[in-house]
Amino acid sequence: MPSRGRHQSTSKECRVLIRRIEAMDGVVGVIIGYSYGGKSLARSSRTGAIRIQRTVAGGLKAVTQSAKGLQELFIRTEPGKEAEIAAGVLELG
């Protein structure tokens, strides 16, 4: 499933991360959300770093560090696979 959302442009490192997440077992797709320029996950965060914010109905809410700020992501998952996918995503980022 292609990435969809309000803002589909993101940095190269984030696009690579999104493709790796989409290839995980149990992931239905990744939806790219809003982008916040000038924001950061933390001082030591590099481009492509990811943080899972919370589990919601249908998947996981996450943010990734892009070259220009933060990029929201919604990771659609198969029911019951949220915890497994969250652990796998943290290993990627």
pLDDT in tens, 33-91: 887 776 666 665 677 788 899 999 899 999 888 777 788 899 999 999 999 999 998 88
Strand order from edge to edge, sheet including 27-37 = 27-37, 69-77, 59-65, 50-56
Give the pTM. Answer: 0.80
CA distance 73 to 70: 10
